Chain A
Amino acid sequence: MKRGCPIDPGDLPNAVSRRTFVKWGAALGGSAAFAATSLAELEALAALLAHEASAGHTLKIRVGCPAHNCGGRCLLIAHIKDGVLTRLETDDRQPDRVADPQLRACVRGRAYRHRQDHPDRLRYPMRRTGKRGEGRFERISWDQALDQLAAELERVKSTYGNSALYIPYGTGSYNQLNGRQTAARLLNLFGGCLGSYNSYSWACISRATPTVYGTSVTGNQRQDWLNSKYILMWSWNPAEMRDGTNSEFFIKKARERGARVVCIDPRMSLSAVSLADEWIPIRPGTDVAMMAAMAYVMITEKLIDREFIRRCCVGFDSTQMPVGAEGEESFEDYILGSRDGVAKTPRWAEAITSVPGETIARIAREYATIKPGVLYQGYGMQRRAYGEQAVRAGCVLAAITGNVGVSGGWASGLGLQADDGGPFWNVFPAGDNPVPARIPVFLWTEAVLHGKDMGPEHGVREVERLDNDIKLLWAVASNTLVNQHANINRTTKILQDESLVETIVVQDQFLTPSGRFADLLLPVCTQFEMWGLEDGWKYGDEVIVMPQLLPPAYESKSDYQICREVARRLGLEDAYSEGRDEKGWVAWALGRYRDTRFPELPSLEQMEDENRGVFSVPVTEARVAFADFRRDPQRQPLPTPSGKIEIFSKQLFDLGNDEVPPVPKYIQEWESPFGPEARKHPLQVIGHHYMGRVHSTHANVDWLREAFPQRVFINPIDAQARGLVDGDMVRVFNDRGTVMLPCRITPRIMPGVVDIPQGAWWQPDEAGIDRGGSVNTLTSERWTPYAFGNAQHTIMADVEKA
């Protein structure tokens, strides 16, 4: 499996800089790193590695774990021997303490050698020879590839205009210099491209949280969870998706300090097993019904924080309705059923959620009385038909229990870290897009099919109508062209039609399902083969450097380098690169972090010399979101229209859309066990984030497939009804497609629900049946009503023995 970088000791330059030697010597001593980006330095690196090979030494280099789109940002120690990556260890900084814990990599990071050394790495630029999607390609030179890419950009620009160019959503790389931001910078210099907003992760929560709080920065620093007495993990699974490195560890610590933890999820997740005192299975898509019933119990049993509601909220009851909405249905009206005649009692919610009414009532009492408490909303419940409602309802529960703005509490919602929203993720400057129009990322297939018909009703921003359909797709670190977008059979038909999108370019390390649809397929080096930089993702106050460990494999190049060479062909190289290579940009980025966030951040030279890997700021006193507001809501108002927490949103009221009510409501989903569709396809399907993958990244790594094979998880009751035994090959199907894969019978998924973890690679057979197990073969392209977000968990299907 081990494959070294080809270094021929017979072809070595004699000159090795003194500085590099110094660094190399220190790395052997365990306290320094080496680096290489320029050709001269690469040659020096080759010389060093050859020398070191003869000496049999192992270099140990601290490096950020390759940044994909998990919620973790971790530290690895890479062992390099004879020019080969031989082992990966993790953060060993001492002491390992809550204020500044080790950033221990998870199973995915520890398996990285088998991604790095994978035999299927793309080696050369390739051009399509067969029909789109057939997966037939021929090798071409880089010059041919880059000339063609530059020519296509010019052609589409001159034929249709810049707004026909589009860089699809994709989260395959977040090390600054690999990833789609590199292409965005180039196209912005080139006159722009159709822009986008939102994400596939949290469209609803990022759009709906501000309708309550005016901001998405609703989270305390995570160490504050240790001050909580009660933690509701609602649809939240930090152990698997790693919602910030160490989030699961902090919850463990909170429990050690006496917090009671309850997990609400259709599936008994790894988090439910290891972090929670109690697991409450809930029917997917019905979270708001349970939340409403909890509010009913709190209101009728007088458990709400009346004083906080009076001071800090609007729209809770008829006494505090906003101007222009006087006499409208307040939140209390909705809960008590004074307008619609339906009291949202636990018994009412039991019939919808499948959660026993007495359990709902007990959880309501616990959350309202064991204070301070956290209601942490995961993102699975908002990638659903009316995801906006679940977000708003959770925020309202936090507000009416007075858990907002206090240590140990939690305002719910997106929970970006107080008080500035946390890390940046990307500081590489994409620049300003001269094309103003932006679409919600989930609606890109609409913009291919009928972009010119799209306006505000499709979430289009900044312009009345789009002036183009998408004609060129440039997918960089993105498998969203096919695998991660909804309804694969629909998407691939769209992509196959060459009269729609005329040019598709894909840059990746592997021939992904998206790559199969490329006209031009460009091999990209891994994050170990280039310089990079990452920060703490959603949480955490750290910056992690990613020194180049190895030369790019085969003919691969970084996304940055590819874009730079395209820029050269477009006459934009100087503007694009500003004279910097990847390492130069890392040094520049460190400066940005130092200027804006971490004044103590050392220079790149110092971090390199000390083989430091990470710079972190210990959290000794955790910041609390909305503390100022809570103290003095008059002088420190929220950035909402009323300045207060908007339980009733006048903004939403003005939309006049029943699917976006001004107070959060339970709305039956468009595919639901309660609808007529359930007669045909009675099972709900969820696609949780699997421990063995980051979305679709790592899906091809043998070690991870051994640890976490792709299966459809099904309850024994549903399995028995279909005559299934554990391990049977089954078909999971609905009107959009069929997936065939083995089943795993487990009581850890509730009856009526099956789980196909998202991210496995679509692999159609001759009959179009997906043998790879991608849940998106079954999902729907229908978007949510307010956020225009993906509702990929709202699907019905059935299962049968294959």
Chain B
Amino acid sequence: MKQLAFFVDAAACSGCKTCQMACKDKHDLPVGQLWRRVYEVAGGGWEARGAAWMSSVIAYHLSVGCNHCERPICVEVCPSGATRKREDGIVLIDGDRCLGCGYCRWACPYGAPQYDERRGVMGKCHLCYDEIDAGRPPICVSACPMRALEVGELADLRSLHGAVADTYPLPEQGHTSPALVIKPHPGATMTDQAALSIINREEVGREGR
């Protein structure tokens, strides 16, 4: 079975949020809705040694949309059948059937589904299926000034980049099998993840975790 997936080079991501903005522009999302969000993570600290400051600070950014999980819990909990998985693995919300009940938002460990107050339904990253169908990459991928985002077959991306999909602050990938491949920032692998925290909580919206 096909499964389209995002690849995120978190080592190269500058946190510039061009992906987030291209998504907002294309989907005309008001302030408060972030189908793609960029987490700013930092850890480590500072210690004075005489006049010198010894720094063990690390930081990185992680751009997250919807991970179009292989076991999408949003589909499981949807009471109206509005949320479904396409043949290519893209998880879609059918706005005509969505009740706007928000179960998917509560269930999703990634904060992907978000309530669209204007339409009274849930919305989320749909991997720009319209672009995919037209043979083009999603808008976030073609936007990235660092060329740090890709889209492709999950199996292909894993063979190229490995199978990591749960760099902090993302949850353990066993829960929903996200179709996501992350090249972790060196800071994420060098550091005790318990020492990391999200620095820009206010910028990733109420779904931030």
Contacts and interface: CB of A to CB of B under 8 A. Distances in A.
A110 B14 contact: no
A274 B15 contact: yes
A92 B24 contact: no
A446 interface: no
B50 A350 contact: yes
B25 A104 contact: no
B170 interface: no
B119 interface: no
B145 A268 contact: no
A748 B59 contact: yes
A710 B142 CA distance: 28
Interface string B1-32: 00000000001111111101110111010111
A350 B22 contact: no
Interface in B11-66: 11-18, 20-22, 24-26, 28, 30-32, 42-46, 48-55, 57, 59-61
A482 to B, nearest CB: 27
B203 interface: yes
Contacts of B60: 273
Given A110-B143, A268-B59, A88 B51 contact: no
Contact of B49 (A110, A246, A356): A356
Contact of A750 (B11, B13, B46): B46
The residue in B14, B50, B185, B199 that gathers the most chain A C-beta atoms within 10 A of its C-beta is B14
B146 interface: yes
Contacts of B146: 239, 248-249, 252, 274
Contacts of A246: 145
A691 B202 contact: no
Contacts of A716: 45-46
Given A106-B16, A110-B22, A273 B53 contact: no
Interface string A725-768: 00100000000000000001011101100000000000000000
Nearest to A238: B14
A246 B20 CA distance: 19
Nearest to B45: A747
Contacts of B59: 268, 273, 747-748
8 contacts: A89-B142, A90-B142, A107-B18, A239-B14, A249-B147, A273-B59, A275-B14, A357-B52
A288 interface: no
A210 B39 CA distance: 43
Nearest to B145: A104
Interface string B135-155: 000010011111100000000
A240 B52 contact: no
Nearest to B24: A703
Nearest to B199: A746
A107 B21 contact: yes
A110 B139 CA distance: 11
B61 A274 contact: yes
Given A239-B14, A274-B61, A88 B203 contact: no
The residue in A87, A274, A281, A355 that gathers the most chain B C-beta atoms within 10 A of its C-beta is A274
Nearest to A113: B25
Contacts of A89: 22, 139, 142
The residue in B28, B46, B57 that gathers the most chain A C-beta atoms within 10 A of its C-beta is B57
Nearest to A726: B201
A350 B21 contact: no
Contact of A239 (B11, B16, B51, B199): B16
B167 to A, nearest CB: 14
A105 interface: yes
The residue in A104, A110, A355 that gathers the most chain B C-beta atoms within 10 A of its C-beta is A110
Interface residues on A, range: 35 or more
B199 A88 contact: no
Contacts of A113: 25
A708 B204 CA distance: 11
A627 B187 CA distance: 39
Contacts of A350: 50-52
A96 B147 contact: yes
Q: Is the interface of A mostly helix, strand, loop or mixed?
A: mixed
A87 to B, nearest CB: 6
B52 A355 contact: yes
Contacts of A156: none
A270 B49 contact: no
A354 B53 contact: yes
B25 A87 contact: yes
Contact of B51 (A92, A104, A351, A744): A351
A270 B42 contact: no
Contact of A252 (B12, B50, B54, B61): B12
A354 B45 contact: no
Contacts of B14: 239-240, 248, 270-271, 273-275
A2 B30 CA distance: 11
Given A248-B145, A702-B31, A356 B24 contact: no
Given A750-B53, A750-B55, A92 B26 contact: no
Given A87-B26, A248-B146, A249-B146, A110 B18 contact: yes
A239 B21 CA distance: 16
B145 A706 contact: no
A748 B203 contact: no
Interface string B142-175: 1111110000000000000000000000000000
A692 B187 CA distance: 25
Contacts of A240: 14, 16
Contacts of B32: 706
A105 B145 CA distance: 7
Interface string B106-124: 0000000000000000000
The residue in B20, B21, B60, B199 that gathers the most chain A C-beta atoms within 10 A of its C-beta is B21
Identify the 10 closest CB pairs spanning chains A and B, nearest first.
Answer: A274-B14, A239-B14, A110-B21, A270-B14, A351-B51, A747-B57, A356-B52, A107-B18, A107-B21, A354-B53
A363 interface: no
A246 B14 CA distance: 13
B25 A717 contact: no
Contact of B144 (A104, A270, A708): A104
A271 B21 CA distance: 19
A281 B53 contact: yes
Given A273-B60, A274-B146, A709 B25 contact: no
Nearest to B18: A107
A134 B46 CA distance: 46
A268 B57 contact: yes
Nearest to B15: A270
Nearest to A242: B145
A354 B51 contact: yes
Interface in A268-288: 268, 270-271, 273-275, 279, 281
B145 A354 contact: no
Given A268-B59, A270-B16, A751-B46, 4 more contacts: A252-B12, A273-B187, A746-B42, A750-B53
Given A90-B142, A249-B146, A747-B46, A107 B17 contact: yes
